[in-house]
Structure 1
Amino acid sequence: MPLTFAKSSAIAAVIVTLSATPGFCAWYDSLDPSQWFSEKYKPEVQPDIPADKLYSEGLANLEDRNFEIASQKFDDLDKRYAYSDWSRKALLMTAYSNYEGQKYDDAISASKRYLQRHPATKDAAYAQYLMAMSQYKQIPDVTRDQDRSEKALVALTELVQKYPTSEYAADAKAKIQITRDQLAGKEMEVGRYYLEKRNFPAAINRFRDVVSKYQTTRHAEEALERLTEAYMALGITAEAQTAAAVLGHNFPDSPWYKDAFALLQTGGLEPREEKGSWLSKIYRGVIGRTAAAE
């Protein structure tokens, strides 16, 4: 809508009034585009620091346990001398500095970048080890979500598979067993909860995961006894007997086997392998060898 004479006169009056107000002129002047860039942008020129000096500074800070500063030095070196041999060394040391400084997610990121850029170098196994250990160090207690444990298991397994002759393989194998035990422990915790709530099918699924995926962990004995309990509660006696038989064949001196045996006796039963059972298929080789030895 076009301005009427009355409206335009009113606007002009407001401008005249404001122009008499202290500070208005300064404000109005600031609207002048020529004033907006009165302070010219001055790009900061980075001094040319030799690569070996940056690397030495990073090492010095590592020695003094100034891990954050060390990481910054190595990261700066990586950026200044990208795609050089200095960059490769700096990236690995960035990962190491972050690992020592307990900035594990940053260590994981740097290790991944190293493996992406330099997968065939002699230090690739160490980068994989740093990544795996950064996951491993963040494994929570068994009551919490085990996503970190899963990631640690994947990274450790990759280390053993890709670099089986590396000096880190033996340690990785030991930590794989610990991590698997942790994951089995989580399944057991949830399974016990369902068993207590008398949700027997859900409990069986958890204990089944333990004996299927983690049968070499310390939780396997209890899982087999708990399966005996759950199957007995559901009246699936053949599976209960098989679980107890597997437990007895593999862990004859276990207190868990004594409990399973006593539970079966309350129903007039005894441990007996059901050939068609999923448990029998998992442990058939072990049972066969044990029976032959007897």
Structure 2
Amino acid sequence: MQHRHIVKVLLGICVAFLLGACSPFSKLQKSGTDDEKYKGAVEYYKKGEWYKAGLLFEELIPVLKGSTESEMAQFYYAYTQYQQQQYLLSSTLFKKFYETFARSEYVEESMYMYAYSLYKDTPAFNLDQSNTLTATSALQDFVNTYPDSKYKDEATKLILDLRGKLERKAYEKARLYYKTSGFNIASYKSAVISINNFQKDFPDSEYNEELAFLKVDAEFSLAQNSLETKQKERYQEAISYHQAFVDKYPNSRFLKQAEKMYDTSVKEVERLDTLEKEREKEKEKLKNAPAKVTASNQ
């Protein structure tokens, strides 16, 4: 019974192969003239049969070089790859098109599709964002080059969307440093630096209130875990960050927690000031104390 089933499957595969070998597309590929292949590729393209159209255009492009059909063949070929979600390849092809056919009526569209293909290839926010930066730059270049383009509004929306990814990535990076700070004092410093960079790059972000508080917390915790010689300066930094936080977010939900750290920081600065003064007095006493008379001085 199982043997019969295997035979049927193999027969089905053979029939499908033979039918495919005799299909109009297969015949066109094997024995069609360049003109017939071009017309066939355009027809497949119009019907949305991207794979077949792509195969034919890919074969024709080297042959059509220098002809009147060459421009459209390359333009259509780029779209066939885009429609098959081969975004990196389509971006390369669209870029090559507008660089090769600088006077084409499709230059603007191909430049937009280059940037849009890059946009479609960008990863989720938690992954490496190198491609996101490249896509953002390409979209911004397009808007700068064609400020009145029909694609301008959409390109602007895409830029904002990509900036949202970069913003979320930077936010999560800062939070990660903060979360791991308890295991490594260097992470407190990294958290503060990351938050400062975030506030500079994304001044209007919805995450800034939380991060402003975490910066106070991170600097306060850094001071607590530092050598005594560095504590005063770091507590003073925590006080400064707290003041900036309160000025900007006077009604923040983090206010009570921040106030506790502020009070402790002020007390610690006062304590460290007192210790410094006491040590200075001790130094002065030792400096002004009369020299002891020893047997060698007599």
TM-score by length of 2: 0.64
RMSD: 2.5
* Distance in 2 between residues matched to 1:225 and 1:57, nearest whole Å: 64
Tell me what 2:190 maps to: 202
User: Could you say if the C-alpha distance between residues 205 and 124 of structure 1 is closer, same or farther in structure 2, counting changes exceeding 3 Å?
Assistant: farther
Shift of the alpha carbon at 1:176? 0.6
Query: 1:251-290, aligned counterparts within 5 Å?
Result: 257-259=252-254, 261-268=255-262
1:239-266 CA-partner distances (Å, limit 9, x unpaired): 23214434x3xxx77xxx322x233322
Q: 1:205 corresponds to which letter in structure 2?
A: I
* Distance in 1 between residues matched to 2:82 and 2:126, nearest whole Å: 25
Q: 2:34 corresponds to which letter in structure 1?
A: I
Query: 1:180-195, aligned counterparts within 5 Å?
Result: 180-195=163-178
Tell me what 1:230 maps to: 218
* Distance in 1 between residues matched to 2:148 and 2:66, nearest whole Å: 28
Does the Cα contact within 8 Å between 1:104 and 1:134 map onto a contact in 2? yes
How many percent identity over aligned positions? 20
Please say if 1:164 is aligned against 2:159: no
* Distance in 2 between residues matched to 1:225 and 1:121, nearest whole Å: 54
User: Could you say if the C-alpha distance between residues 217 and 128 of structure 1 is closer, same or farther in structure 2, counting changes exceeding 3 Å?
Assistant: farther
Alignment coverage as a number of residue pairs: 215
User: Could you say if the C-alpha distance between residues 90 and 186 of structure 1 is closer, same or farther in structure 2, counting changes exceeding 3 Å?
Assistant: same
1:66-94 CA-partner distances (Å, limit 9, x unpaired): 32221222333432221344212221211
* Distance in 1 between residues matched to 2:58 and 2:86, nearest whole Å: 14
Q: 2:111 corresponds to which letter in structure 1?
A: Q
* Distance in 2 between residues matched to 1:161 and 1:266, nearest whole Å: 49
Tell me what 1:49 maps to: 34
Q: Secondary structure at the match of 2:253?
A: helix
Structure 2: where are the runs of 5+ without partners? 1-29, 182-186, 223-234, 264-298
Does the Cα contact within 8 Å between 2:125 and 2:168 map onto a contact in 1? yes
Q: Which protein is richer in helix relative to its size?
A: 2
Query: 1:85-104, aligned counterparts within 5 Å?
Result: 85-104=68-87
Q: Secondary structure at the match of 1:83?
A: coil
* Distance in 1 between residues matched to 2:205 and 2:66, nearest whole Å: 45
* Distance in 1 between residues matched to 2:173 and 2:49, nearest whole Å: 42
Does the Cα contact within 8 Å between 2:88 and 2:121 map onto a contact in 1? no
Query: 1:103-142, aligned counterparts within 5 Å?
Result: 103-142=86-125
* Distance in 2 between residues matched to 1:71 and 1:217, nearest whole Å: 43
* Distance in 2 between residues matched to 1:192 and 1:201, nearest whole Å: 12
Q: Secondary structure at the match of 1:167?
A: coil
1:13-37 CA-partner distances (Å, limit 9, x unpaired): xxxxxxxxxxxxxxxxxxxxxxxxx
User: Could you say if the C-alpha distance between residues 197 and 111 of structure 1 is closer, same or farther in structure 2, counting changes exceeding 3 Å?
Assistant: same
1:221-280 CA-partner distances (Å, limit 9, x unpaired): 44333333323434322123214434x3xxx77xxx322x233322356xxxxxxxxxxx
* Distance in 1 between residues matched to 2:60 and 2:206, nearest whole Å: 47
1:150-192 CA-partner distances (Å, limit 9, x unpaired): 1211111111111111111111111111101101111111211
Query: 1:32-43, aligned counterparts within 5 Å?
Result: none
Does the Cα contact within 8 Å between 1:225 and 1:244 map onto a contact in 2? no
Shift of the alpha carbon at 1:195? 0.4
User: Could you say if the C-alpha distance between residues 120 and 231 of structure 1 is closer, same or farther in structure 2, counting changes exceeding 3 Å?
Assistant: farther
